[in-house]
Structure 1
């Protein structure tokens, strides 16, 4: 799944989890609430992608208040199924846990920053090893916490897929042995933990991951994969101020026809300041509104059964005829064809 546009960001679900743990540990909000992507309207919007730098900062703050071993366990404990969105269900709804974790690996960008993190699966004889690669620029403690959490998360989801707890054969962590690691022993359910390993991984008996998933339904995995891809395609990556503006504009499109004044109010700036900042970023209000409308119309055509007239009304067009002219200009075809064929590429010059 191609996701280059979203590299450098993580899902808002993952950011919510980090903030949840920070709050549980009593970390003062003024230490992180100002960070890009943590405003409530972005943090609680599953289409917003939080900057990886924001997630890193929250993780680093958290390890100041708790040992990395405890943070790993607490993150895993708070990761109830569904907390990470459709990515969770890719694992638990596949025909077998192994097929589920493969789907999760292929769609890792739906939750993590694949520029720095990856989930790798290696099968060798009667064993399956799942590795978490993390190359982000983190403090040592935060990096250890994330690696420890990731392995615990994979174990938990695989157990939920199998309908029973699956105890690993072996756990390896790219971290120095802490003075106390009882939290990790409880997290993984084993004392067979190797520290100072070259990479972080968790190894299972292959037979445990080949067990049929009790709640699997034929065709459901394919539906979930498409949903994960569609969510990432429609996501708004928050890298800078222009991304924040586009997120605010997208919200305005969802509610009503957007106005300069209303979007400026969302961003807590004056309309004149908003126009100046757009100019500084090499764009204009009218071109952004047009692009926003195109995205909004396309989402409605792809993901709803609304009539063309209803789509027009929800997108700020006077009538269905005006909408048809706009779609013809964007895509060189009709709204009905866009709905029928799925995503298409805009015509040159749009």
Structure 2
């Protein structure tokens, strides 16, 4: 279910976690509120996927204020069960922790950027190694912090699935060796930590991951896998500025007649900046509003039995006459004919 559309984005849940940790190290909203995807209606909407560049920038800001090792520990500490949505429960609800981490690897894109990050599970007799695959520069402070966090997160979720703390046999980090790393020893529960390794991985005894999950429920894993697929299918990747703007405009339109200033506030920019950005992308406020109205009207005519007067009111037109003029201009036909055509298409498609 992962598509090219998801590449270059992360879940809004992961973005919220990053913002929370940034605040803990003293970074105020002024440091990140202007970044793409940080407007409240995007950040708090689980359907929206935040640009990966935004997540990276927040991580960079965090490692300016704190060592990457502290960032790893804070992210892991703040990642209570449910923080990352369905991905968390894929691990903790499977029949065994091992089956859960396999599902988590298969649906890692529900959390991370599938273009740059992934998971790999290697089973070798009495050992199971979980690798975090990340294509960023090995020496980059933010990348080091993310890799350290990822392994701590896997360990925490597996322990929650097993119902007890799991101590790894070995931890390898594709990260530069810090001056001090006691916080990582505490995070992982072992001193067997290798730095500047070719890849980041954490290794457990197979017996620890093969034991039954205490609270597993038959059939629940299949339900969660379907939910993960649906989450990816319905996600709104905020790849670029036009996508961010149109998401904000659509949200504002759902709540009433949108104005330039109200949408600008949603995007945490000024109305003048919004107008300038629209011009830079070859469009205007009136053109974008008309597109939203056109799509809404077609949807209401095709999918509901609302009268033309009601459709006009819901889409921001003064009356049915104004709506009819707009439909004639867009489609060269009447609302009634457009409704019949849309329902005929749905019938042929088996909808």
Partner SS, residue 27 of structure 1: coil
Could you say if the C-alpha distance between residues 142 and 274 of structure 1 is closer, same or farther in structure 2, counting changes exceeding 3 Å? Answer: closer
Larger Rg belongs to: 2
Contact persistence 1:107–1:228 (CA under 8 A)? yes
Could you say if the C-alpha distance between residues 235 and 326 of structure 1 is closer, same or farther in structure 2, counting changes exceeding 3 Å? Answer: farther
Partner SS, residue 177 of structure 1: coil
Greater shift in the superposed pair: 173-182 or 52-61? 173-182
Are 2:172 and 1:172 aligned? yes
Could you say if the C-alpha distance between residues 325 and 122 of structure 1 is closer, same or farther in structure 2, counting changes exceeding 3 Å? Answer: farther
**C-alpha distance after superposition, 1:271-291 (max 9, x if no partner):** x94996598259854444455
Are 2:262 and 1:265 aligned? yes
Taking the TM superposition and a 5 Å limit, the aligned residue runs for 1:1-350 are: 1-136=1-136, 140-252=140-252, 255-256=254-255, 259=257, 261-262=258-259, 265-268=262-265, 269=271, 273=275, 277=279, 280=282, 284-291=288-295, 325=340, 328=343, 331=346, 333=348, 337-338=350-351
Partner SS, residue 267 of structure 1: helix
Q: Which whole-Å CA distance do the structure 2 matches of 1:122 and 1:324 have between them?
A: 55
Could you say if the C-alpha distance between residues 330 and 161 of structure 1 is closer, same or farther in structure 2, counting changes exceeding 3 Å? Answer: farther
Could you say if the C-alpha distance between residues 297 and 233 of structure 1 is closer, same or farther in structure 2, counting changes exceeding 3 Å? Answer: farther
Q: Which whole-Å CA distance do the structure 2 matches of 1:265 and 1:123 have between them?
A: 54
Q: Which whole-Å CA distance do the structure 1 matches of 2:60 and 2:221 have between them?
A: 35
Number of residue pairs matched by the alignment: 321
The alpha carbon displacement at 1:70 in A equals 1.1
**C-alpha distance after superposition, 1:60-96 (max 9, x if no partner):** 1111111111110111000000011111111111111
- Residue segments in structure 1 that go unaligned for 5+ positions in a row: 302-307, 339-350
**C-alpha distance after superposition, 1:120-154 (max 9, x if no partner):** 11111111100001113686111110000000000
Partner SS, residue 280 of structure 1: coil
User: Could you tell me the TM-score, scaled by structure 1's length?
Assistant: 0.81
Partner SS, residue 73 of structure 2: helix
CA RMSD of aligned residues (A): 3.3
The alpha carbon displacement at 1:231 in A equals 1.4
Q: Which whole-Å CA distance do the structure 1 matches of 2:13 and 2:59 have between them?
A: 14
Q: Which whole-Å CA distance do the structure 2 matches of 1:246 and 1:329 have between them?
A: 29
Q: Which whole-Å CA distance do the structure 2 matches of 1:136 and 1:213 have between them?
A: 34
Q: Which whole-Å CA distance do the structure 2 matches of 1:262 and 1:139 have between them?
A: 46
Contact persistence 1:252–1:263 (CA under 8 A)? no
User: Could you tell me the TM-score, scaled by structure 2's length?
Assistant: 0.81
Contact persistence 1:173–1:195 (CA under 8 A)? yes
Partner SS, residue 10 of structure 1: strand
Partner SS, residue 95 of structure 1: coil
- Residue segments in structure 2 that go unaligned for 5+ positions in a row: 266-270, 321-335
The alpha carbon displacement at 1:233 in A equals 1.4
